[in-house]
Amino acid sequence: MTTATTAEVLGIRDLTVAFPDEQGQVSAVRGVSWSLRAGEVLGVVGESGCGKSATALAVMGLLPPGARVGGSVRFRDRELVGLRDDEMASVRGRSVAMVFQDPLSALNPVYSVGFQVAEAVRAHHPRLGREQAVERAIALLELVGIPNARDRAADYPHEFSGGMRQRVVIAIAMADDPDVIIADEPTTALDVTIQAQVLDALRTAREQTGAATMLITHDLGVVAGQADRVVVMYAGKVVESGTVEEVFYSPRMPYTLGLLGSLPRLDGREDARLTPIAGTPPPLDRPITGCAFAPRCPLARDVCRTEEPALVPVDGEHLAACHFSAELVGRRPQDVFPPRAAPAVDAVAANAVAVSAVAANAVAVGAVADGPVSGRPTPIITASSLVKHYRVRGTGLFRRDRGELHAVCDVSFDLSAGETLGLVGESGSGKSTIAKLLMSLEEPTGGGVLLDGRPLSPRGHARDLQIVFQDPMNSLDPRMTAADLVAEPLRINGAGRREARARALELLGSVGLSGARSERYPHEFSGGQRQRIGIARALALRPRVLVLDEPVSALDVSVQADVINLLEDLQDSLGLAYLFIAHDLSVVRHIADRVAVLYLGRVVETGDRDTVFDHPRHPYTRALVSAVPLPDPRKERARERIILTGDVPSPVNPPSGCRFRTRCPLHLGRLTDEQRSRCAGETPALLDGVACHWVER
């Protein structure tokens, strides 16, 4: 870095943000300071609710009315806190631009995309002609990689996919050549291959404008790959900051160390157990004395509870806020955060004996019905050639059928006791439809599912197969206590009141929610705890198979680790089979034994977990694996990324032949025309675990 680039463009000093509410106020940001230097990328990480967005909005002056802001934000020499709204308007877009999290709602549905970009171009140049502004807008759209930008500028936001919309938002941020771009979770809502495209567009924006970037994210992998320096926030404060190498390789604050340890890793070779951080961040609506992290910190001592640690240098520009940061030198997450033995799983283990007896029986039945050929145990579930089409209606005069939506196409797999099959794929790949087919919530168009070698009957399987959903809040009745929620399936299946209750309490104990907590209502639990209730409820009928549909994707990493560990423990003690559906490859790599990669309803690659992730063969799997950011700055920067072009095509009338061909680097690259025509004409069969005509075998 040259000396010029170390100049501060945006300086935040003792910034506070408070939201008044009925009881008093929520102190969302409790005095943060950092400086953003010219040309650099500063990563800001932390769990949900730690004040990342509030800080960003305070800089932009876009907090909702009523929010109270204190401290100082300086853009070069200009103080921004306390500016009138019209003065702030001259700063926004020109000096500091912002990219928001949710691309689907960020654009106005009633104006064309071109108009909305041109509007940003003209915001500070009112005298620029309408036509020139549109020309510039088209150029910007081209820069961020919108194909046929000239034609597409007239389209409306709903005609763009999420990834494309986010690129439009980035084009808007670039429009007036800002000096600072704040990107608040710019890729959180996107699939991983699309995330790679959007991060690429952000890099373009950076290069074109030379802007310094504040990249807010909870994804440590993204920070490792993109940022020069990083700030870690916790409960409205900065707890650590430094270069990415310093913070990732030698964290000096227990929270940072814990975060790194709770992260499942795509490159994690050994089956290291995750180290979750117990508990949840403190509520911000009452004063915090001492270190905010103390209730969750294994190193906490008396002084931590009374004296707040200051953010002080531990090594040059590496700052940390911990009384005992010196003790962290050279320690690994598992040294500091002892992996908790799941408390009461043993209590359930007694029951498990009975369950495994049933399972053993099933194996016997299965063996008779369908003799296993290989050394693999007899599957509990066998799905063969599952097909699911949905009809879509057209909009013509007589609404003829417009075609069929091919949600799932010829998907086969099996699942044995004690085993986890990971189902990965981007949105629209058919993951949840497969879950629904397994649960008989949908009728398959073709193929079928066997349970112990017999066709699934909609009623009979209820005990053996249970599902856990993504959003714990939506799947639990808010008017029932945790104990009632777990007892409900038992009661429905004829258990007596006292019996059901006793079992419910036992189950809640086994997922770590014992005692008085069993009488609380869903909204009184944290997200991770709610997901535990969901799991306890699914376990009530002693199923042998759990279908887990994105069970941890709504959770923060430290909490997610906790749920993953719980699932692993339950599997060990109960011999459960899991169908684990997730878009997060790192989580799947951590928990699954085998994986199947889906693309547009088809399995493109399947096999043993390590083989698929370490030596992906299908062009799609390769791109997918390469797109997952690793929370390791050196590795991440050394990696070569395969960035796919375009979006996933519509599952209505999908591409003929190989469905991946419209984005396949191999197909679009070195194949000859003759080879290409085979991709278009013939659907590649799943041979030896890979569905591609031209992969080296």
Partner 1 sequence: MLAYVLRRLLHTIPIVLVGSFVTFVMVSASGDPLGDLKAKQPPVSQAILDAEAHRMRLDQPLLERYWRWLTGILSGDWGPSVKRIDIGAEIWPRLLVSARLVTLAVLLALVLALVIGVVSAVKRYSAVDYAFTAVGFLLLSMPAFWLAVLLKQQAIELNQATGTTLVYTVGEASIPPPPGLWPTVLDVLGHVVLPTIVLAMTSFAPWSRFVRSSMIEVQQSDYVRLARAKGIKRRTVLVRHALRTALVPLTTVVALDLAVLFSGAVITETVFQWRGMGSFLLSSVRDKDIYAVMAWLLLVSLIVVVFNLIADLLYAVLDRRIRLG
Ligand X SMILES: Nc1ncnc2c1ncn2[C@@H]1O[C@H](COP(=O)(O)OP(=O)(O)OP(=O)(O)O)[C@@H](O)[C@H]1O
Query: Applying CB under 6 A, which part among 19-27, 120-128, 253-261, 502-510 lies near ligand X?
Result: 19-27
Q: Does 666 bind ligand SF4 (CB under 6 A)?
A: yes
Please pick, from the candidates 22, 77, 85, 443, the single residue that binds partner 1 as defined by CB under 8 A.
85
Q: Does 429 bind Mg ion (CB under 5 A)?
A: no
Q: Angle at Cα 363 formed by Cα 362 and Cα 366, nearest 5°?
A: 85
CB within 8 Å of 648: residues ≥ 6 apart: 161, 191, 426, 427, 428, 429, 599, 600, 663
Residue with tokens 């009138």: 84
Q: Does 553 bind ligand X (CB under 6 A)?
A: no
CB within 8 Å of 617: residues ≥ 6 apart: 605, 689, 690, 692, 695, 696
Please pick, from the candidates 19, 156, 324, 521, the single residue that binds partner 1 as defined by CB under 8 A.
156
d(CA 589, CA 424): 10
| Nearest partner of 43 among 296, 308, 223, 301, judged by Cα | 223
- Residue with smaller CB distance to ligand X, 48 or 427: 48
Please pick, from the candidates 4, 77, 131, 158, the single residue that binds partner 1 as defined by CB under 8 A.
158
d(CA 521, CA 544): 28
Q: Does 73 bind ligand X (CB under 6 A)?
A: no
Our separate counts of H helices and E strands in the chain read 25, 22
- Residue with smaller CB distance to ligand SF4, 365 or 643: 643
Q: Report the DSSP beta bridge partners of residue 231.
A: 44, 241
Residue with tokens 């950092």: 34
**398 to 437: interface string for partner 1, x by CB under 8 A:** -x--------------------------------------
Q: Are 388 and 442 contacting, i.e. CB atoms less than 8 angstroms apart?
A: yes
Q: Least separation, in Å, of the C-beta of 648 and ligand SF4?
A: 14
Site for ligand SF4 in 313-342 (CB under 6 A): 322-324
d(CA 355, CA 359): 6
Please pick, from the candidates 50, 198, 292, 495, the single residue that binds ligand X as defined by CB under 6 A.
50
- Residue with smaller CB distance to ligand X, 186 or 425: 186
Site for ligand SF4 in 289-308 (CB under 6 A): 291, 293-294, 297, 299-300, 304
Residue 443 burial (CB < 10 Å; 0-12/13-18/19+)? Answer: exposed
CB within 8 Å of 303: residues ≥ 6 apart: 290, 323
d(CA 145, CA 69): 37
Q: Does 667 bind ligand SF4 (CB under 6 A)?
A: yes
DSSP state of 479: T
When CB distances are held under 5 to 8 angstroms depending on the partner's kind, the choice from partner 1, ligand SF4, ligand X, none that residue 59 binds is: none
Q: Are 547 and 469 contacting, i.e. CB atoms less than 8 angstroms apart?
A: no
- Residue with smaller CB distance to Mg ion, 56 or 180: 56
Compute how many residues bind Mg ion; rule: CB under 5 A. Answer: 1
- Residue with smaller CB distance to ligand SF4, 80 or 300: 300
Alpha helices by DSSP H, listed for 19-126, are 52-60, 85-91, 103-106, 113-123
DSSP state of 600: T
Strand order in the sheet with 8-20: 25-37, 8-20, 68-75, 78-79
- Residue with smaller CB distance to partner 1, 393 or 497: 393
Please pick, from the candidates 16, 53, 382, 518, the single residue that binds Mg ion as defined by CB under 5 A.
53
When CB distances are held under 5 to 8 angstroms depending on the partner's kind, the choice from ligand SF4, Mg ion, partner 1, none that residue 516 binds is: none
DSSP state of 478: T
Q: Are 244 and 229 contacting, i.e. CB atoms less than 8 angstroms apart?
A: yes
Site for Mg ion in 351-410 (CB under 5 A): none
Q: Does 284 bind ligand X (CB under 6 A)?
A: yes
d(CA 381, CA 417): 9
Site for ligand SF4 in 213-272 (CB under 6 A): 253-254
DSSP state of 92: B
Q: 684: which 2 tokens?
A: 């590649």
d(CA 399, CA 113): 29
Q: Are 376 and 567 contacting, i.e. CB atoms less than 8 angstroms apart?
A: no
Q: Does 19 bind ligand X (CB under 6 A)?
A: yes
When CB distances are held under 5 to 8 angstroms depending on the partner's kind, the choice from partner 1, Mg ion, ligand X, none that residue 353 binds is: none
Q: 238: which 2 tokens?
A: 């900065």
Query: Applying CB under 8 A, which part among 93-101, 260-268, 534-542, 565-573 lies near partner 1?
Result: 93-101
- Residue with smaller CB distance to ligand SF4, 268 or 295: 295
Site for ligand SF4 in 509-568 (CB under 6 A): none
Site for ligand SF4 in 588-627 (CB under 6 A): 619
Q: Least separation, in Å, of the C-beta of 76 and Mg ion?
A: 26
Q: Least separation, in Å, of the C-beta of 49 and Mg ion?
A: 8
> Under the rule (CB under 6 A), what is the footprint of ligand X?
19, 21, 26, 28, 46, 48-54, 64, 218, 284
> Under the rule (CB under 6 A), what is the footprint of ligand SF4?
253-254, 291, 293-294, 297, 299-300, 304, 309, 322-324, 619, 658, 660-661, 664, 666-667, 679, 684, 692-694
> Under the rule (CB under 8 A), what is the footprint of partner 1?
60, 62, 64, 85-86, 89-94, 97-98, 100, 102, 105-110, 119-120, 123-124, 156, 158-159, 169, 172, 175-176, 393-397, 399
> Under the rule (CB under 5 A), what is the footprint of Mg ion?
53
